[in-house]
Amino acid sequence: DADVTQTPRNRITKTGKRIMLECSQTKGHDRMYWYRQDPGLGLRLIYYSFDVKDINKGEISDGYSVSRQAQAKFSLSLESAIPNQTALYFCATSRVGETQYFGPGTRLLVL
């Protein structure tokens, strides 16, 4: 079984809808991250969390919110989706200062 899982893997939604992307990990890591990938821009950090009580904004947090429900679960929400949030979203986990391991990604299309 995969160490980092993301659900759903693909999602189509309409402008203005609220959606949630979920991430779970079995690696026992305390750090979790959400990134988005756009063609030609690489990966950009949305939010990251050191533990359940610690949430930090990344470089592109506007329009997103997160929830760290448990050490192993980190959810990303789009409160009111807009078309320019169409992207590939990745969750990642790590121990402090170590390699980040990525989930399989969620392809989101906002119409």
* Contacting residues toward another protein, per CB under 8 A: 31, 33, 40-45, 48, 50, 58, 88, 90, 94, 96-105, 107
Backbone angles phi, psi at 100, to 5 degrees: -90, 135
Count of beta carbons in the 10 Å neighbourhood of residue 92: 22
For another protein, which is the closer residue by CB, 84 or 99? 99
Minimum CB separation of residue 76 from another protein in Å reads 16
For another protein, which is the closer residue by CB, 58 or 63? 58
For another protein, which is the closer residue by CB, 40 or 62? 40
Minimum CB separation of residue 15 from another protein in Å reads 24
CB 102 within 8 A of CB 3: no
Minimum CB separation of residue 57 from another protein in Å reads 11
For residue 27, the SS3 value is coil
The length of the chain, given as a count of residues: 111
Backbone angles phi, psi at 77, to 5 degrees: -120, 140
